[in-house]
Chains A and B, each alone.
Chain A
């Protein structure tokens, strides 16, 4: 029927590692990238921890002419895209320009850039606003800049569904490939670590105000007290299995085998939330039974009632302790539209290496969650199929199945 759509390149910019190898090694060691915010002085705020991408010197990775026109998160996305294309051994100049597309997820655009320009406008006047503001802030910026940098002239898009949007973007990439685009650069790299973005995130009401980096973001733990935001994410190269074969791509990490998205019913409707349905639809789309799934990468909000709801959806489909569950984002913080693509990358690496990473500092999971959460140390088991879950503020649910190619 339809040709399988596979991932052949991964580029990672994560708080616990710049580059796929650094990220994966840190993740398997259970090493967290969460720490005190360094990009601005957080002393006056009730939340002072974040996952910041380490060792990133923009001048080392980004052409000079792009520095004045890009937000920090756009620079990270450009690096991630370049790493993903290199990993896939793609030289875009050698391929059909209209046969290569880009679709990224976004949540808040280049918000730090936006704050700087907003400050100029309101403190000095409109004539001080940067000529780059019109596109450096807007949500479409990463897709546009990636397409320009690599000459990708096929279909292009940008999806926003808060923290679920990253899976929607990868699903859109699969759609493009199924419709005939040879290769698509996709995923999400995000972040709004500036005071104005920080205040908006605090207003969301779900951030942890714990001061200890090891205790602040503990999804599914009895001590869960909210989440820690971060920056970064992952960019993937996806293409048809046929295209990967014909250009003798290096590693085929796995197939994007199933996907579904649902939206929650109104809060007081008495109707069931949509996450379970998203899981079931994604499994059906992948033509897999629950028993075929070897590991679930949970969304893991770190907010007790949301953790319980997610545990309920997972056990409803897989049974009590029916499948190993993991939340590597406990070691990065939640990366908004970058979080789910990073989880997809981790799932593909788990398939490659036959190992499931532990959930950071999570140590005590309430028994009534009925979840076999991988904690403490990595678990070495063959992984053929993995399910990745993501939820977005407001009621968005997305689920994606990846499996060995």
Chain B
């Protein structure tokens, strides 16, 4: 008998609020949390817009030592893992250490701390032979981002399999998919998993500027993330984290846990085409979707909602629209599709997990999240993107997808654990 895996706890740090509740409140209202960059003076950059989280680590219980040692992305991960554990009704002390593991996703790891410390040891970028005497003692932890997973594991007392998945902008789906695999094959009963990224720093802004991937809509920051709209002109860089407690279905049922959703299927494919470019036909993403549906025994006709990657770049939104049609046929036209990046921006590796959180909460509350700022659809994007307003409807089966640099294409299916087997 195959082991099945369900989500029993959710923790969120997102632009617009810390915690799963404010996150859902923002999404259900269709409010946007994009604004002019406040973390540094961005006036010399092409794109000066971001979706920043108002996050005070002290307020969320991190000690001064932890705050020094942990990059902002690590802080997000630890705080959201604690929220997810509390939400699951499995306090850290109750976990069986050997049967509990951790998989965190992150695209760019501890990049903010690396950039900050680089400025110090290089004397503001002047020295190629940087000065080791100015290095902070935990610099190595910033260099290798598995430190994020290590902090979460130590904090929770997990001693099962642990690691970080870093597949760029699909990290948030791939980390959870990996954790689900580990539970399925019996390496653990409970996994603390999800993804985090805190990339709003000059180097990240500069590298997306260099390829014009981010929006230059600086005079209208609040409406700058415009997935599927004709006027879209790039994504809005975001930050945040979502972590989950996922566990084997029987384990969750025996302890009477609240079950948000079963992670019923997951698949990843590669475009093998270009590190940043996409062919318009969406072939590989379609293949991932088809494989995730097949793996979960889900008939495409039962999908109630598609959470799109919807980054708001010219090429992505066309690419994935084509992928939905290619994989789902006519059903693509009859299924609501939306992008929460319209509200909370694109937090690189973290966003896939934030989107899983939105999907689980959509199932919980019977509400399809909207696509904000969508006033005039691109003629090539001709599906039902749930413009502006959330839609109340029963949501039992969800498809969520991601697409990213490096050619990574991922798809995941969430469903009710008590659904009839297909």
Residue A383, interface by CB 8 Å: no
The number of residues on chain B lying at the interface, defined by a beta carbon within 8 Å of a beta carbon of chain A, is 84
A395 touching B213 by the CB < 8 A rule? no
Once A118-B203, A394-B150 are accepted as A-B contacts, the answer to whether A199 and B145 lie under 8 Å apart by CB is: no
> Is A225 in the interface zone, CB < 8 Å from B?
no
Contact B185 A196 (CB under 8 A): no
A106 at interface, CB cutoff 8 A: yes
Q: Considering the complex, which residues of chain A in the window 131-178 have a beta carbon less than 8 Å from any beta carbon of chain B?
A: 131-135, 138-141, 143-145, 147-148, 150-162, 164-165, 168, 172, 175
User: Does A119 interact with chain B (Cβ within 8 Å)?
Assistant: yes
**By the criterion CB–CB under 8 Å, are A266 and B157 in contact?**
yes
Is A378 among interface residues, defined by CB-CB distance under 8 A?
no
Bound form: Cα–Cα A121–B146 in Å: 26
Interface positions of B from 296 to 341, Cβ below 8 Å from A? none
Q: Are B270 and A126 in contact (CB under 8 A)?
A: no
Asked whether B185 lies within 8 Å of A143 as measured between CB atoms, the reply is no
Which residues of B have CB within 8 Å of A158? 165-167
Nearest residue in B to A139 (C-beta to C-beta)? B166
Complex: chain B residue closest to A144, CB-CB: B406
Closest B residue by C-beta to A42 = B129
Residues of A within 8 A of B108 (CB): 138
B222-264 at interface with A (beta carbon < 8 Å): none
Q: Given that A153-B270, A196-B130, A260-B187 are known contacts, is A131 also in contact with B150, CB under 8 Å in the complex?
A: no
A265 adjacent to chain B (CB < 8 Å)? yes
B158 x A263 contact (CB < 8 A): yes
Contact A165 B140 (CB under 8 A): no
Which of the segments A202-210, A242-250, A286-294, A318-326 contacts the partner chain? A202-210
Beta-carbon nearest neighbor of B109 in chain A:
A139
Query: B272 touching A201 by the CB < 8 A rule?
Result: no
Whole-angstrom distance between the Cβ of A40 and the nearest chain B Cβ: 7
Given contacts A122-B118, A266-B154, contact A156 B268 (CB under 8 A): yes
Contact with B along A258-290 (1 / 0, CB 8 A): 001111111001010010010000000000000
Bound form: Cα–Cα A127–B210 in Å: 7
A129 to B118, Cβ gap below 8 A? no
Q: Tell whether, in the assembled complex, residue A148 and residue B210 are in contact, meaning their CB atoms are under 8 Å apart.
A: no
Interface check B281, CB cutoff 8 A? no
Is the CB–CB distance between A126 and B202 below 8 Å? yes
How far apart are A184's CB and chain B's nearest CB, in angstroms?
Answer: 12
Listed residue (B98, B130, B160, B213) with the most chain A CB atoms within 10 angstroms of its CB: B130
A393 at interface by CB-CB < 8 Å: yes
Complex interface: chain A residues within 8 A of B98 (CB): 262, 277
* Chain B residues whose CB sits within 8 angstroms of the CB of A263 once the complex forms: 101-102, 150, 153, 158-162
Q: Is the CB of B412 closer than 8 A to any CB of chain A?
A: no
- Tell whether A129 pairs with B206 under 8 Å between CB atoms, given A139-B109, A202-B132: yes
Q: Which of B8-16, B119-127, B367-375, B395-403 contacts its partner?
A: B119-127
B405 CB contact (under 8 Å) in A117, A135, A393? A135
**Which of B129, B161, B270, B274 counts the most chain A CB atoms within 10 A?**
B270
What distance in Å separates the Cβ of B104 from its nearest Cβ neighbour in chain A? 9
A44 touches B (CB below 8 Å): yes
Bound together, the chains give a CA A48 to CA B109 distance in angstroms of: 28
Residue in B163, B203, B211 whose beta carbon sits within 8 Å of that of A165 in the complex:
B163
A162 to B163 CA separation, bound complex (whole angstroms): 9
Q: A40-B128, A130-B207, A154-B269 are in contact. List 14 more A-B contacts (CB 8 A).
A: A41-B129, A118-B118, A129-B210, A134-B208, A140-B168, A148-B275, A161-B146, A204-B140, A262-B160, A266-B154, A392-B146, A395-B150, A396-B146, A396-B163
Please name 8 pairs of A and B residues whose Cβ atoms are closer than 8 Å in the assembled complex, sorted by A. Answer: A117-B203, A124-B125, A133-B203, A160-B165, A263-B159, A266-B157, A394-B151, A396-B162
Q: Which residues of B contact A (CB under 8 A)?
A: 44-45, 97-98, 101-102, 107-109, 115, 118-119, 121-122, 124-126, 128-132, 135-147, 149-151, 153-154, 157-168, 174, 178, 181, 185, 187, 202-203, 205-211, 213, 267-276, 284, 287, 404-408
Closest 3 CB pairs of A and B: A122-B125, A144-B406, A394-B150
